[in-house]
Amino acid sequence: MQLRTVEARRYVTPLKEGGSMPAIVEGDDAGLYVLKFRGSGQGPRALIAELVAGEIARALGLDVPEIVLMTLDPVLARTEGDPEIQALIRASGGLNLALDYLPGAVTFDPVAWPVDPELASRIVWFDAFVTNVDRTAKNVNMMVWHRRLRLIDHGAALYMHHDWDTALARSRDAFSRVRDHVLIGRARRIATVDAELTSKLTPAVLADIVNAIPVEWLADAGGESRRADYLQYLTQRLEAPRAFVEEAQRANAGLL
């Protein structure tokens, strides 16, 4: 797969509610994007998780804003008055990641916007597969835009890459944090969607996504050889029996 590369031309405004201090920026295509900085405390691994998890969601038919690679010139820091943001921009020169900005989108409210059980099951299955700990009632990381749910903020997924010594050995582990998922109570069809979603993530699809990780981000994760490790981890995680599916079913049943 080929992600578009956009150059950041103008820093518009920070999104200080995000833990990694993302910002709205204007690209050289005149579009607005939510920029995730490689120089943030979470580093390039958060960008890798954002890219890999986001494109896996797209391959599964879930709605995710377009992901682009974004080049950032540290000179943009000169127009920002906040010293903390200045430092972040200067530390993030080069290739970063950004998502299409969705003007007018509102944060998903599970009470005001009940989700169909099948869609809820697909989202829970996806988050359990990529071990996304950040889709809870406290931080839903979903937006409603044009009356459709859009999944955002996957930088906390794939947390195994913070400990590569044990990552591959834990690829088949259940995902116990699924019990905290904001949609777990409505995810009553996980067993129904399991086979279909698994079939969409063929080795070729996963390889295509992993191959899109920029080589400069992999340096932080251990080098180019990590590309094969990401692919092996994801491939092994799909092997039956899938403990993450069984765990999600148990978590849903416990709420009935």
Q: Write the pLDDT tens digit of every residue in 27-63.
A: 999 999 999 999 988 899 999 999 999 999 999 999 9
User: Is the sign of the CA dihedral 12, 135, 152, 219 positive or negative?
Assistant: positive
* Number of domains the chain contains: 2
pTM of the model: 0.95
Burial 63-98 (b: 16+ CB within 10 A, else e): bbbebbbbebeeebbeebeeeebbebbbebbebbbb
Residue 182: which H helix or E strand, with range?
A: none
Same domain, 131 and 23: no
**pLDDT tens sequence across 152-180:** 999 999 999 999 999 999 999 999 999 99
> Do residues 152 and 139 touch, judged by C-beta distance below 8 A?
no
Same domain, 151 and 249: yes
Q: What is the pLDDT of residue 254?
A: 87
Same domain, 75 and 142: no
Same domain, 233 and 129: yes
Same domain, 239 and 136: yes
Q: What is the pLDDT of residue 78?
A: 82
**Domain end marker among 100, 125, 151:** 100
Q: What is the pLDDT of residue 18?
A: 53
Residue 71: which H helix or E strand, with range?
A: strand 67-72
Query: Domain of 51?
Result: 5-100
Same domain, 243 and 135: yes
Same domain, 242 and 124: yes
Cβ atoms within 10 Å of 100's Cβ, excluding its own: 16
**Domain end marker among 83, 100, 117:** 100
Q: What is the pLDDT of residue 16?
A: 64
Same domain, 18 and 44: yes
- 67-72 and 94-100: which strand pairing? antiparallel
Q: What is the pLDDT of residue 58?
A: 98
Same domain, 66 and 85: yes
Q: What is the pLDDT of residue 84?
A: 86
Q: What is the pLDDT of residue 19?
A: 57
Q: What is the pLDDT of residue 17?
A: 60
Write the CB contacts of 193 (distance below 8 Å, at least 6 apart in sequence). 118, 121, 122, 125
In the sheet with 142-145, reading across from the earlier edge strand, the strands are 106-107, 142-145, 148-151
Same domain, 127 and 200: yes
Helix (H, G, I), strand (E, B) or coil at 190: helix
Q: Which three-class secondary structure string do you get for 139-153?
A: CCCEEEECCEEEECC
Same domain, 86 and 24: yes
Residues of the chain with pLDDT under 50: none
Residue 230 token pair: 């990401």
Same domain, 110 and 204: yes
**Domain end marker among 78, 100, 122:** 100
